[in-house]
Amino acid sequence: METYRRLPRRVLDVSGPEAADLLGGLFTNDLPSTGDAGFAALLTPQGKILFDFLMVGVDGGLFLDVDEETAAAFEKRLKLYRLRAKVDVKLRDDLTVVWSPDPAAETPAGAVAAFRDPRLDALGARAVVEAASAKDVEDGADAYAARRIGLGVPEIAAAANAGRNGFAPDERFLMDVNYDALGGVSYSKGCFVGQEVASRMKRKGAVRKRTMRVVFDAPADISSGDIAPGADVKAGEATVGAMLDGPADADGGAIGLAVIRIDRHKDDAPVSVSGNAARLEAPAYLTTE
């Protein structure tokens, strides 16, 4: 497990003869087959993201790789939706998630599931392993956040306003955070919670908001907290967006993520956040979608 590090994630195990029918009607994406992986979200009926997660198909069901702070609430929500369906939903305290920045990293010995990050290869590889076997593995939260933010990939974290990397639940639509471009939604799969709103936004065609990289001209004082989630991104006196995540030390500088009104911002216009000069860059996956 030399190249792997622990992540602040939990494993939610969903199994049972009616699990596929239940989850297929809830999640924004198709369910992966055994051994395959996918990325999806669970939305509110109003179309905002409540939970995001990676999923890997295992014999008899799915493992969901979920932010540790949202995992218990996610388990509770799925149990509410379950009603009388023959579905077992449980957090696995005996399992944990480890991550390698190398997408071709060798699978750790004894892993019960392993997969490349389905969003972007550059996000590396993950494995679900016995928690006892990972207790001495180095923490990888900061390294992973730097890689993710550097690539322009948003992610939920329940305690986003308490110094953790990520945005808060029930705040953002799928397109706001580029989840459509990251393979997190299927518009042809049939019904899912919030589908009507998500599909209507897709049909309109004109995307007004996107998550962009905010590259600071000089290293920002990350510890000061003055560049926090929700801080205004300004072009001159006009507010063109709001910070979503970071900043983090990535690509040799301070980089954050922000949701930007792309219809109000010119590509070459400088911006600032809390007095810190910056420029906006579209993530590579958006420019090639």
159: Cβ contacts below 8 Å, ≥ 6 apart: 69
Percent of the chain residues past pLDDT 90, beyond the cut: 69
Spell out the alpha helix ranges (H) of the chain: 19-24, 71-82, 141-150, 195-204, 284-287
- Domain residue ranges in the chain: 5-139
- 265-285 pLDDT, tens digit per residue, is 876 779 999 888 999 999 999
pLDDT at 223 over 80: no
Q: How confident is the model at residue 227 (pLDDT cuts 50, 70, 90)?
A: confident
pLDDT given at position 221: 56
Measure the CA–CA gap between 142 and 87, rounded to whole angstroms: 35
169: Cβ contacts below 8 Å, ≥ 6 apart: 49, 50, 51, 70, 156, 158
pLDDT given at position 108: 94
pTM for the full predicted model:
0.92
Tell which CATH architecture fits domain 5-139. Answer: 2-Layer Sandwich (3.30)
Question: Length of the chain in residues, anyone?
Answer: 289
* DSSP secondary structure of 124-164: -EEEEEEGGGGTTSPB-HHHHHHHHHHTT---B-TTGGGT-
Of the two residues 247 and 7, the one the predictor is more confident about is: 7
Q: 180: helix, coil or strand?
A: coil
- 75-99 pLDDT, tens digit per residue, is 999 999 999 899 999 999 999 999 9
Over residues 65-83, mean pLDDT: 95
Q: What is the mean pLDDT of the chain?
A: 90
pLDDT given at position 162: 44
Over residues 34-39, mean pLDDT: 97
Over residues 235-251, mean pLDDT: 87
- 135-192 pLDDT, tens digit per residue, is 999 999 989 999 999 999 999 986 544 445 678 889 999 999 999 999 999 988 889 9
